[in-house]
Structure 1
Amino acid sequence: MHNLHVPLNRPGITLEVIAMSVSDALAAEAGGANRIELVSALSEGGLTPSIGLIERTLDAVSIDVQVMIRPHSRSFVYSEDDLETMLADIRSVRRLGRAGIVMGCLTDERLIDETALKLLLDEAGEMDITFHRAFDATPNLDEAFCTLMRYPSIKRVLTSAGQPSVLHAAGQLWRLQRLSTHSSIEIMAGSGLSIPSLPAFLQASQVREVHFGSGVHQPAGCVNKALVQEARHSLDKMFTPG
Structure 2
Amino acid sequence: MLIEVIADTLSDALIAQEAGAGRIELVTGLAEGGLTPGYGVIERVCKELKIPVNVMIRPHSRGFCYSEEDIEVMIQDIDICKKLGAAGVVFGVLTHNNQVHIDYLKRLIDAADGMDITFHRAFDEADDQFAAMEIIKQYPQISRILTSGGERSAANAAARLRKLNELTADSHLKIMAGAGLSIENITAFLDEVPVTEVHFGTGVRFQSSYDHQIDPERVRKIIKIIGA
Same fold (TM over 0.5): yes
Question: 1:181 and 1:216 mapped to 2: Cα distance?
Answer: 28
Equivalent position of 1:15 in the other structure: 3
Q: Does structure 1 residue 227 correspond to structure 2 residue 218? A: yes
Structure 1 stretches of 4+ with a deviation exceeding 6 A read none
Question: 1:49 and 1:229 mapped to 2: Cα distance?
Answer: 26
Specify which of 49, 55, 64 is matched with residue 52 of structure 2: 64
Question: 2:80 and 2:177 mapped to 1: Cα distance?
Answer: 28
Which letter does structure 2 place at the counterpart of 1:226? Answer: E
Specify which of 122, 138, 148 is matched with residue 160 of structure 1: 148
Question: 2:99 and 2:190 mapped to 1: Cα distance?
Answer: 28
Equivalent position of 1:131 in the other structure: 119
Q: CA deviation at 1:235?
A: 1.3
Which letter does structure 2 place at the counterpart of 1:232? Answer: I
RMSD: 1.0
8 A contact 2:46–2:85 mirrored in 1? no
Specify which of 22, 44, 52 is matched with residue 40 of structure 2: 52
Question: 2:35 and 2:214 mapped to 1: Cα distance?
Answer: 18
Which letter does structure 2 place at the counterpart of 1:222? Answer: Q
The percent of aligned pairs where both chains have the same amino acid is 47
Equivalent position of 2:204 in the other structure: 216
Q: Does structure 1 residue 144 correspond to structure 2 residue 132? A: yes
Distance 1:167 1:141, change over 3 A: same
Q: Secondary structure at the match of 2:12?
A: helix
Residue deviations 1:172-211 (CA, integer Å, cap 9, x gap): 1110000111320110000100112111100101111100
Q: Secondary structure at the match of 1:18?
A: strand
Specify which of 11, 19, 32 is matched with residue 20 of structure 2: 32
The structure number with the bigger radius of gyration is 1
Question: 1:148 and 1:78 mapped to 2: Cα distance?
Answer: 18
Q: Secondary structure at the match of 1:129?
A: strand
8 A contact 2:43–2:85 mirrored in 1? no
Residue deviations 1:54-85 (CA, integer Å, cap 9, x gap): 11001221011110000000010000110011
Question: 2:86 and 2:151 mapped to 1: Cα distance?
Answer: 32
8 A contact 2:205–2:214 mirrored in 1? yes
What are the within-5 Å matches in structure 2 for residues 169-184 of structure 1?
169-184=157-172
Question: 1:97 and 1:113 mapped to 2: Cα distance?
Answer: 27
Question: 2:130 and 2:171 mapped to 1: Cα distance?
Answer: 13
- Structure 1 unpaired stretches of 5+: 1-12, 238-242
How many corresponding residue pairs?
Answer: 225
Q: CA deviation at 1:221?
A: 2.2
Question: 1:57 and 1:102 mapped to 2: Cα distance?
Answer: 16
Which letter does structure 2 place at the counterpart of 1:114? Answer: I
Q: CA deviation at 1:140?
A: 1.1
Equivalent position of 1:240 in the other structure: none
What are the within-5 Å matches in structure 2 for residues 89-108 of structure 1?
89-108=77-96
Question: 1:103 and 1:51 mapped to 2: Cα distance?
Answer: 17
- Structure 2 unpaired stretches of 5+: none
Equivalent position of 2:62 in the other structure: 74
Question: 1:78 and 1:21 mapped to 2: Cα distance?
Answer: 26
